[in-house]
Structure formats: structure tokens, C-alpha cells
Amino acid sequence: MKIRRLPHGEGLALPAYATAGAAGMDLQAAVTDPVVIPPMGRALIPTGFAIALAEGFELQIRPRSGLALKHGVTLPNTPGTIDEDYRGEVCVILLNAGSEEFVITRGMRIAQAVLAPVWRAAWVEVGALDETTRNTGGFGSTGG
């Protein structure tokens, strides 16, 4: 996959797997000054890079579990999708669901990215769908 470092991303690590078995690559904040996110506030955080994905792939942007558990910081649109034809900077929307301000600093690991294949559907319109045991039951219909 092709990646282009942007000027404000100089000196930061490119997305990387923290361990050999990691599914997600860590993304760092490419902010020049600290960004304060108030409780229940949101902020768009730059990563300092743009990408060109291969055809048939997306990059899913997901929260970091440690930030979510320790600080209540998550992504409101998880997983976020970077499409194969997007060439702008990869940015991360962070939501502070915690009770205290959260400060984003340069180089902080703010999210993780998972490369995933994309299947494109070709819909076939029909007059009726086949019956199943569940049928039209939804929103808690399977128990609990």
C-alpha cells in the first residue's frame, strides 16, 4: 500500500503494528499544539499522512481499548472507513465520553487501523424473501 507523509507528520512513526500478532496498526496524532477535548466533546485529529489503498480494500479506523477504558475516549463512528479512492489526509474523530477533559498531544497513539477486504454487492430485486426461524424479528428478538 502506498503512503505519503504530510509536512506536519514529519518525525512521527508511520502506522505500525505494535506486536507480530496485532490486527491493527497504531495511528499517532499529528497535532502541532495540544488539543483539549472537553467531556462529551469531539475533535478531528490529523495523522499526518495520506494513503492509496489497493483496489478491493478499505482501512477501518477503530478506537484504542486503553483510551476507552481509562479515559472514556472513543470514536463516535466506529469503525470509520477510509475508502480505496480517498486521497486526502487520514484523520480521526475522537469523542471524549469521560467526565474530565482529555488532552491530545503530538505523537500520542489515538486510534488503530485495520486493513480489510471489501466485497461489492450486486442486488437482485425480488418480490419476496425466503422464510427463516427469526424472520422479521429484530432489536432483541433473539433473547435476553
Please state the domain extents for the chain.
Answer: 2-8+24-117
- What Å distances lie between residue 20 and 16, 23, 71, 106, 111, CA to CA? 10, 9, 27, 25, 18
pLDDT, tens digit, 9 for 90 and up, residues 100-126? 999 999 999 999 999 999 999 999 999
Give the Cα separation of 74 and 88 in Å (integer): 22
Query: Model's pTM, two decimal places?
Result: 0.89
Burial class (CB within 10 angstroms; exposed 0-12, middle 13-18, buried 19+) of 56:
exposed
Q: Please, which pLDDT band fits residue 134 given cuts at 50, 70 and 90?
A: confident
- The per-residue pLDDT for 144 is 62
pLDDT digits (tens, 9 = 90+) for 58-105: 999 999 999 999 999 999 999 999 999 999 999 999 999 999 999 999
| CATH level 2 (architecture), domain 2-8+24-117 | Distorted Sandwich (2.70)
Mean pLDDT, the chain, rounded, equals: 96
Distance of CA 106 to the CA centre of its chain: 18
Q: Using CA atoms in the order 20, 93, 87, 6, what is the torsion angle rounded to 10 degrees?
A: -80
